Amino acid sequence: MARTSPNIIVTGTPGVGKTTHCEALAEKTGLRHVSVNQVVKDKQCHEGWDEEYLCWIVDEDKLLDALEDEAKEGGCIIDWHACDLFPKSWIDLVVVLRVDSSTLYDRLSARKYPEAKLQENLDSEIMEVLLQEARDSYDEEIVVELTSNTADEMESNVERVEAWLVQWKKDHGG
Ligand code: DAT
């Protein structure tokens, strides 16, 4: 059955502003903020905790099973620092947030990331790893790169996604 509400991924390197954007979007649009980190934790979709990188070792099969019903229903804003694991058929829009290195450095330092993890994330942002992953995994028409350095940029990003949603609903008989 076709979705009556779209699924959106908000992705990017940790610290780009995914959670902040997803919360604002959920409030404005009524779509649901699906924090993958929370799902991994709550539904135990992991094989333990990585002490070096301070993150869960995700079991992707379990994660997809845990998300499947919600994704089929539609109306999810999926918040995760990866995007290549989700089936193409689930996803209507992929927002890749980008940020300047110095801003990212400040945000991750404020989170007290260990040096190796901080450096790895900075490299990942500079190398455009998530943007490439999105482009490799989805049709280019649905991948949108947006900058998230300032509150003004965030506001205009949210407006842009809201406008996209209005159009999506028109196109899908809403
Ligand atoms: P992520 O979920 O991608 O890890 P976040 O939403 O937790 O990122 O944001 C990390 C920090 O940066 C947080 O303190 C809020 C701030 N931030 C995020 N996007 C911003 C923006 N566009 N302008 C100013 N601050 C922002």
Q: What is the pLDDT of residue 53?
A: 77
Q: Which of 19, 20, 125 to mutate to test the pocket of ligand 1 (most atoms within 8 A of CB)?
A: 20
Q: What is the pLDDT of residue 173?
A: 83
Q: Which residues are annotated as a binding site for ATP?
A: 15, 17-20, 111
Q: What does the pLDDT look like over 39-50, one tens digit per residue?
A: 999 999 999 998
* Shortest-distance atom of ligand 1 to CA 81: 3
Q: What is the pLDDT of residue 54?
A: 79
Q: What does the pLDDT look like over 84-136, one tens digit per residue?
A: 999 999 999 999 999 999 999 999 999 999 899 999 999 999 999 999 999 99
- Residue 1 in this model has a pLDDT that exceeds 70: no
Q: From atom 19 of ligand 1, which residue's Cα is the shortest distance away? A: 17
- Residue 67 in this model has a pLDDT that exceeds 90: yes
- Strands (E) in 24-174, as ranges, are 32-35, 46-50, 55-58, 76-79, 93-98, 143-147
What are the structural domains, with CATH classification, of the chain?
8-166 (3.40.50.300)
Q: Helices then strands (H, E): number in the chain? A: 7, 7
Q: Which residues are annotated as a binding site?
A: 15, 17-20, 111
Backbone angles phi, psi at 45, to 5 degrees: -90, 55
Give the pTM.
Answer: 0.97
Centroid of ligand 1 to alpha carbon of 2 (angstroms) = 33
Give mean pLDDT, residues 154-166.
98
Q: From atom 26 of ligand 1, which residue's Cα is the shortest distance away? A: 17
Give mean pLDDT, residues 155-174.
95
Q: Which of 25, 107, 161 to mutate to test the pocket of ligand 1 (most atoms within 8 A of CB)?
A: 107
